[in-house]
Amino acid sequence: MTNIDPDQIKVILATDCGSTTTKAILIQYVDGEYRQTHRGEAPTTVEKPFADVTMGVVNSVTEIAELADRRLVDDDGRIISPATDTEGCDIYISTSSAGGGLQMMVAGVIAEMTAASAKRAALGAGSIVMDVIAANDGRRPHDQIQRIRDLRPDMILISGGTDGGTTGKVVQIAELVAPAKPQPRFGSDYSMPIIYAGNKDAREAVSEVFDEGGFDLQIVDNLRPVLERENLGPARDKIHDIFLEHVMAQAPGYEKLMSWTGAPIMPTPGAVGDILQTVARLQDINVVGVDIGGATTDVFSVFEKTFNRTVSANLGMSYSISNVCAEATMPNVLRWVPFDMNERELRNHVKNKMIRPTTIPQTREALMFEQAVAREALRLAYKQHKEFATTLKGVQQQRTVGDTFSQQTSGQTIVNNMTLDLLVASGGVLSHAPRMHQTAMMLIDAFEPEGVTMLAKDSIFMMPHLGVLSSVHPKAAEQVFDRDCLVYLGTSVCAAGQPKAGKSCFKYELTGDRTASGEISGGEIQLLPFEEHETGTITLSPARGIDLGEGAGKKVQRSVRGGTVGLILDGRGRSLTLPEERSSCQATVQGWLDALDVYKEETEPVGV
Amino acid sequence: MIRALVLLLVLLGFQPAMSHGETLSLSGPANVVAEDVPNDVGGQVMVKWSLSPDDRVLKDGSHGVIGYVIYREVLPTAAGLESGAETPAGQGYELGFSDDFDYEANQPVGSVPYSVNQFLDENVDAGMTYVYAVAASGVGNSFSPLAVADKPVVAEMQYLNLGKLWFFIIMMLISIVIIYFVFYAKRGGTIKVRPIAGLEAVTEAVGRSTEMGKPVLFVPGILDINDIQTVAGITVLSNVARTAAQYDAELKVPTARSLVMTTARETVEAAYLGEGRPDAYNEDNIYYLTDEQFGYTAGVQGVMVREKPAACFYMGAFYAESLILAETANSIGAIQVAGTAMPSQLPFFVAACDYTLIGEEFFAASAYLSNDPEQLGSLKGQDVGKIIAAVLLILGCLLATLATVVPDSKPLRMADMYITNNILGEDGLVPNELKVAILDGELEQLMEEDQDAQPAIDGGGN
Amino acid sequence: MAKAYTPGLLVTRHKKHRIMRRLPISGDVRVKINDQVNAGDIVAETNLPGNVHPVNLANQMSLPPADVVACMLKAEGDAIALDEPMAQSKGMFGMFKNTVKSRFEGTVETISPVTGQVIIRGAPLPVQVKAYMSGQVVSVSEHEGCEIEADVAYMQGIFGVGGETQGKIRVVGSGHDQELTADLITDDMAGCLIIGGARMTVEAIQRAREVKAAGIISGGIDDQDLKELLGYDLGVAITGRENLGITVIVTEGFGEIAMADRTYAMLREFEGRVASINGATQIRAGVMRPEIIIPLESVPPAANEGQFEEGQLEAGRLLRVIRDPWFGMIGKVSDLPAKPHVLGSGSKARVLEVTFPSGEKAIVPRANVELIEE
């Protein structure tokens, strides 16, 4: 890793090697601030026949070089660094999710405690967690062993026990893993890396278990030294190290790529998490980010400085579309579609999309259906996220007699839509929606934000690049994130509570670059024009029982920011309920879509 | 006194002598009626009479009649021959009482003081025919002639106590509701049980113990197994043991009663078996300490201090030891879950423990934990029963209050009476005519009083 | 770009096909280089380590874990039979000895003084790897597996369920657009690969199972029928491990859709030949499609494989639309506009113009077509 003074960095080149495309961006220091100036794309070249990831990287960088008219790759096909005035870059950084990303198996003693912490550490580091083995996961030991045997993870993280806590159980877990002899995914010649991050008293015993059998045991600090505190840092760092040393080194061409980069290569989702954390820290806000892909949906959140990430495997828009429909059930998907569809045909369409994942909706009806599926996929993914992002479990509670009738268990979700400040969307169906209004509507319907929330989308999926950049130059990362990465859709003002249909829900008064005032009634959603770069202050007076951020019926004043969509005033209530009856449901949804001008015909469509 | 006696003698003088051995100086009661008490198993006969004319305060302040003596004869019936033993010897099968009735030799079935005109004979056999007679008794072993009931009475057993028909109706109602909810739950209907944090926390507490490598301590209270709280505690123990078996945590149960120990062992073993972990069950972890309240407390405290359990459960009946235990466990940093129906101990547990099950919650635990449709259904059904009881209670209080405030409203009084005597009392479905008559009388009296008062008011107005 | 890369499914009359046959763990390879193997031959076998049964002796004997080792009657590596005494406690004055019998058969793998747990490993599970495709062994990696090569006719399906099997090709029905129904399947089709035309019904599949056919192949299937067949709604297209007793391959997609002419003609041509099929489908990074492999006895003369470059989209190429509103229709590329078009959905995408046999023309996004190799 090269150590460069952040102030000296003027030209930054970043790539993200995805499983299908390699995306490169160029960030330059222009007029006193960092801006993303050019981007390039090329197919990823990890698999045969190319089998060298750097080819894709060089191709994408060459595209940038042409656009920027700046030589970035030398004649030997290497990226030029450091930069001179006319060529090269000061630092080159990269992320990778090629080859399915980082896949891990984690184990702990209790599923809700140390195993959950281990999962959090693994997810936070950007890996996919294939399975969680715990003493109480309900499986018999031989089933667990069979499962470990069947999985081919890149590495295994074992935790368990507080410091000074159980030794026996931790060793038992180790005794499950060792005889199962899990095989690493790539190459049979390297030994399976195992990270032990459990009870420090059990280290010796665990080492003995993994003494033979071709394991590479690494010991780090306990990630749950006491049940009241989580210490995920050391385990996360170790995962990154192993990712680079073992996993990446096995993939074709990565060794070369690693020698080029000025900062360690990160798994793509880990980098996305990093940029969101950086932004949340620098701006002191709560952020939720979502990346909906073809197979999986990642949800990231930073609430009260606590970062969480979940991967909802099998909730996606192409490979997993059929699973979304099965999990959410067809009626739940169809409630967002304001017209009748033939269910049998629809089911076949869904399956055809599953087996031919690259097709795109051609008609408006197909698009509306796909976006309905997206709403459900996001809703389910966010639900899973809320269930996972909790306070620690197994913690002693302090009570007073006043708590007699209000006892709550620990492990409540820390996700609070009311305190959410920024909701960032990325992933095909959200960022490539023909109209931004559709993206905004999908976000509001699926995430049901409450109070005043800023909506944004990642313009060209730049977050991974900025995540790595944030580890080198947080300031530059934040500037680019704010100015170029995010496309602000607008601000949503959503009433929590159950407003009565037709009765007043809240009154608003907007001052600043634009003035407006009015009233939103229950069940109604409205769009106020409020353009990008416009700011203002909104004063909200909710009706009785309606909460907009300060408590039921309390007046709220917030500064708001415009966007490509505008200011969305939502009086539909939370949780959002749609009429059961099909025809009135269609009418309701159609009303909402019309109010927000979601499916406007912009140009004469072709081929319909 | 003597004058009174003389007067009595004079008054009674012309009465023919009907028995011998005693002075028959009093006039007897009249209209003796013996009736079978309805809605019973046939063990009671009600005897009523009109008071003797002598039953009054004499001039010297004494009572002419001290009391009434009730006699009974068994009439031989086809079925009653065997009970001839009760027939006084030498009486033959003659009907009723002999003329020369010996007040001394015959044992009365009971006696009542003066001014009382009825007697409940609770010592009869169903199916027998009895003849009753009543005599007034006076000072100095004086008696009135026997007044014999004009009809014999048969004490009959009723299969249905119609007086408690309302009780039956309410019971049926609640049963039907329970059955309905049981079937509803079995058919997959959802019965929502409010989350009870204390029970949700069981997995958390046991998990904590597992992670920390420390035992789980379960204290089933200090009362024996016949106390319902101990039983409820054992139900929770079963759940804790299941979780402990799943999590492979060590579970310790010190008991204060040997029977509780046996029950606890059975329960825990069954739980471990149910989880397929019979090998993880260790009988020695469930042991008896002492019956002595504070000996036991000290013992449990000792376990806490030595073994530092990471989770402590207190489920059962507790007295003064509650806070001692809870404070000790708090000091060693254990998660504590308490459950008791002892109102005086609840505040201590609430303050010192992480979670507390209060009264009903504690008893509902088993339905809550098992999620068994039958238990859930009956829980819901019982709730409906409680609602009915609460509604009756509120309605009754309201009506009683209103009836007092507006005493001359017949509907109110009637409704009040109906709830008191019919629904809650033993008058059956139909209001008791007598009571209605009395009420009517009272109301009439009230009306009259009102009318009496009316002119005065009018006059005042002029 | 005047051409665009839009890969279709591979359907070829001749291909040198090489397959890798690997053991999950190291074992014995039973063939040598240049051996001729038949599809059903076993080429390698090994024993998987048996199932593991942990027994917590410390609890069973009420002993501290460290004392368990001293009580063991069996040492690590010893074989143990069912109900054979495994450990005995010291007891008191030589009496009250507590004996624990083994509830499992196998070998004692480890005795842990930390957990008091004894791990017994059951009998090894034999694993055999079959050749799957008739051909010649071209390479052998010792203890791991071998590679088999053959000249084959090769067809990829779009989706399948069920694993590897082989059987004689048996075409039923009259054409590539005839629905495959139960009445077309007769009792003499045991062990056959039944080839239908258009959609196959669930009754047909059930019937094929009844007559013990090895596989059933047709153009399409209804989602509802698939759900009925599997017993659950398939969420993610990763298949191959279903235990249906029959391998099902769909060549075109879901719904009423006829098998491609060329595929059908080829299967018809090879009727009576033994083919190897595998329904395993994995639509993720590293796509796996179901396959039909027909080993050839003689290499056919190099036929004209078409005037087009493989996978390249050019005017005049035959293609299939794979998304509604023209799902399943076949036509020829008539124009490849360079500029992105705005679709009915409002999105911009690169499109092409297709002319259907009826003469009707349509604009379709390039992402929604699939080339048909001629």
Least confident piece of the model among A246-260, A308-322, B321-335, C211-225:
A246-260
What interhelical angle do A168-180 and A141-150 show, nearest 10? 50
Q: What is the mean pLDDT of chain A?
A: 86
In a mutational test of the B interface, the residue from A407, A408, A412 whose CB has the highest number of chain B CBs within 10 Å is A407
Mean pLDDT of B387-414: 87
Copy the structure tokens of residue B451: 């009318």
Question: Residue A323 is nearest to which of C114, C119, C236, comparing CB atoms?
Answer: C236
Q: Looking at the complex, does the CB of residue B323 fall below 8 Å from at least one CB of chain A?
A: no
Closest-CA residue of A relative to B215 is A166
Among A227, A404, A408, beta carbon nearest to B211: A227
- CATH class of the domain comprising B197-371: alpha beta
Which chain B residues touch A408 with a CB distance below 8 Å?
Answer: 197
Contact status of A361 with chain B (Cβ, < 8 Å): no
Q: CB–CB of B279 and C62 under 8 A?
A: no
- Chain A interface test: which of C345, C356, C361 (most A C-beta within 10 Å): C345
Q: By the CB < 8 Å criterion, does B284 face chain C?
A: yes
Backbone angles phi, psi at C80, to 5 degrees: -140, 140
As given in the structure block, the two tokens for residue C246 are 């029959």
Interface mutation target, options A348, A370, A598, A608, chain C, most CBs of C under 10 Å: A348
Does the pLDDT at position A222 exceed 70? yes
Q: Which residues of chain A have a CB within 8 Å of the CB of C233?
A: 322, 325-326
DSSP code at position B145: P
B17 band by pLDDT with thresholds 50, 70 and 90 = very low
DSSP codes of every residue in A24-59: EEEEEEETTEEEEEEEEEEE---STTT--HHHHHHH
Span A254-267, pLDDT tens digits:
888 888 888 888 88
Residue A322 to residue C325, Cβ atoms within 8 A: no
Local structure of C327: helix, strand or coil: coil
Q: What's the gap in Å between the CA of B283 and the closest CA on chain C?
A: 9
Distance from CA of A599 to the nearest CA of C (A): 8
The rounded Cα C245 to chain-centroid distance in angstroms is 13
Structural domains in chain A, CATH included, are 6-98 (3.10.20.370), 101-255 (3.40.50.360), 287-392+411-596 (no CATH)
Contact across the interface for B208 and A138, Cβ inside 8 Å = no
pLDDT for position B460:
41
Residues 6+ apart with CB under 8 A from A553: A542, A543, A544, A545, A546, A547
Q: Any CB–CB contact under 8 A between B422 and chain A?
A: no
Q: Which chains touch B (3 or more CB pairs under 8 A)?
A: A, C
Interface list for A 546-585 with B (CB within 8 A):
none
Query: The tokens of C282 are what?
Result: 């994995």
Contact check, Cβ <8 Å, B280/C55:
no
- Contacting residues of A for B346, CB less than 8 Å apart: 404
Interface test mutation site (partner A, options B196, B210, B246, B337, max chain A beta carbons within 10 A): B210
Confidence of residue A187 (pLDDT cuts 50, 70, 90): low
Q: State which fold the B16-154 domain adopts.
A: Immunoglobulin-like (2.60.40)
Q: How far is C272 from chain A (nearest CA, A)?
A: 30
What residues of chain C lie within 8 A of the CB of A363, using their CB?
A: 324-325, 343-345
How many interchain CB pairs under 8 A, A with B?
93
CA distance A548 to A555: 8
Neighbours of A, requiring at least 3 CB pairs below 8 Å, are: B, C
Residues 57-96 in C contacting B (C-alpha not used; CB under 8 Å): 57, 59-60, 62
Q: Parse chain B into domains and list their residue ranges.
A: 16-154, 197-371
Q: Which residue of C has its CA nearest to A147?
A: C51
Is the Cα torsion angle C304, C305, C307, C309 positive or negative in sign? Answer: negative
pLDDT of B78 over the 70 cut: no
Tokens in use for B36?
Answer: 């079978």
Q: Say if the Cβ atoms of C364 and A362 lie within 8 Å.
A: yes
Q: What residues in B contact A135, CB-CB < 8 Å?
A: 210, 247-248
Q: What's the rounded mean pLDDT across residues B131-148?
A: 83
Task: Please say if the pLDDT value at position A398 is more than 80.
Answer: no
Sorted by sequence, the CB contacts under 8 Å of residue C319 that are 6+ apart come out as C6, C8, C313, C330, C331, C332, C333, C354, C369, C370, C371, C372
Q: Among B250, B251, B269, B279, which would you mutate to test the C interface (most chain C Cβ atoms within 10 Å of its Cβ)?
A: B279
Q: What is the pLDDT of residue C94?
A: 66
Q: Is A191 exposed, middle or buried (0-12, 13-18, 19+ CB in 10 A)?
A: middle
Q: What tokens does A303 get?
A: 């609430």
Contact B354 A397 (CB under 8 A): yes
* Among the ranges given (A210-214, A563-567, B343-347, B369-373), the one the predictor scored with the smallest mean pLDDT: B369-373
What type of residue is A55?
M
The answer to whether the CB atoms of B284 and C62 lie below 8 A apart is: yes
Contacts of B287 in chain C (CB under 8 A): none
For chains A and C, what is the number of CB pairs under 8 angstroms? Answer: 182
Instruction: Give the pLDDT score at C285.
Output: 59
Q: Which of A121-125, A437-441, A518-522, B139-143 has the lowest mean pLDDT?
A: B139-143
Residue A410 to residue B204, Cβ atoms within 8 A: yes
For residue B290, pLDDT over 90 is answered with yes
Query: Looking at the predicted structure, is the pLDDT value of residue A401 above 80?
Result: no
How would residue A115 be classed by pLDDT, with cut points 50, 70 and 90?
very high
For residue A287, the model assigns a pLDDT of 94
Q: What residues of chain C score a pLDDT lower than 70?
A: 1-8, 24-25, 92-95, 284-286, 300-312, 373-374
Q: Show residues of chain B in contact with C62, CB under 8 Å.
A: 282-284
Interface touch A169/B248, C-beta < 8 Å: yes
Which is more confident, C266 or A214?
C266
List of domains in chain C: 11-45+137-295 (3.50.30), 52-121 (2.40.50), 305-371 (2.30.30.30)
Radius of gyration for the alpha carbons in chain B, expressed in angstroms and rounded: 34
Q: Do B282 and C59 touch (CB under 8 A)?
A: yes
Q: Which of A83-87, A552-556, C221-225 has the lowest mean pLDDT?
A: A83-87
- Shortest alpha-carbon distance between residue A404 and chain C (Å): 39
pLDDT band at A252 (very low <50, low <70, confident <90, very high): confident
pLDDT value for B457: 47
Taking all residues of chain B, what is their mean pLDDT, rounded to a whole number?
A: 82
Q: Which helix (H) or strand (E) holds A302?
A: strand A296-303
Of the candidates C276, C365, C281, the residue with the CA atom closest to the CA atom of residue C321: C365
Q: Which residues of C touch A599 (CB under 8 A)?
A: 346
Task: Summarize the confidence of residues B300-325 as an average pLDDT.
Answer: 94
Least CB–CB distance from A168: residue in C114, C237, C342: C114
**What are the two backbone dihedrals, phi and then psi, of residue C372, each rounded to the nearest 5 degrees?**
-110, 120
In A, which residues are within 8 Å of C253 by CB distance? 348, 351-352, 355-356
Rounded to a whole number of angstroms, the distance from the CA of B284 to the nearest CA of chain C is 8
Query: What is the C-alpha to C-alpha distance for residues B86 and B78, in angstroms, rounded to an integer?
Result: 15
Q: How far is C62 from chain B (nearest CA, A)?
A: 6
